[in-house]
Amino acid sequence: MSKNKTALVTGGSRGIGLGIARALAKEGIHLAINGVRDESAVTDVLDELRSYGVEVIYARGDIGSASDREEMVKLILRKFGHINYLINNAGVAPKERKDILEATEESFEYVIRTNLTGSYFLTQAIANTMIRQKNENPGFEAAIINISSISATVASVNRGEYCIAKAGISMATQLFAVRLGEFDIPVYEVRPGIIETDMTAGVKEKYDNLIANGLCVQKRWGKPEDIGSITAVLVRGQMPYATGQVIVADGGLTIGRL
């Protein structure tokens, strides 16, 4: 890996995002970690990532806010001058899981704004910076990786807004893959299954039982480092002829079985 490659990991201070950030730091990639918490709350995480010998900055902001996205991109470009990799990972769950016959428009808008709208327009902004870099230097390496969920295709009627957002991310991956093909900027989707994070802590007992009873082919929870390992493969350029493709990391959960 070149010593001056950089990545923006949204939602990178915990959960899957932190698993990805650790994997990229081990690859020698400088990091911009995005999150909504105060920097004082993530100091230990940032210091840990710096211990791998890379530069790490904190780009605080809500990706669902246009002004926050703009300031975030400006900050990263001021610091590093370019962005090689965008990892769209930030996401929220519904504040309350409600049946789609009862779920509110407010909840729908809250989830869509971060999980879909924010990622879509952050991709637009950063894709344009990547194109400029490519025009200046055809050898500039860039890629966009969208972290979605098996909820893009697996229906959960008590969190429909989340499923719809992830399905949208899946299509956004294909759209940007097509649009950026002429610039040789691959776009990938990584589709995790049940991953052990803060977001899934509230349903741990439920899924412990389901996994023990054969929900997944591989009888364990997924870990953030599992998704980090896949992301590292992608940023290394080891899937060079596969733009627009989906890598399903669900321990075999979605394999059809009798």
**Which residues are part of the catalytic machinery?**
162
CA gap 96, 124 in Å, rounded: 30
CA gap 106, 94 in Å, rounded: 10
Q: Name residues whose C-beta falls within 8 Å of residue 238's C-beta, 6 or more positions apart in sequence.
A: none
Residue of 89, 98, 94, 120 whose CA lies nearest to 109: 94
**Tokens 């990091």 appear where?**
31
| Strand pairing category for 143-147 and 6-9 | unpaired
Helix pair 15-26, 43-50: axis angle to 10 deg: 20
Q: CA separation (Å) from 100 to 30, 104, 158, 166, 206?
A: 42, 8, 6, 16, 20
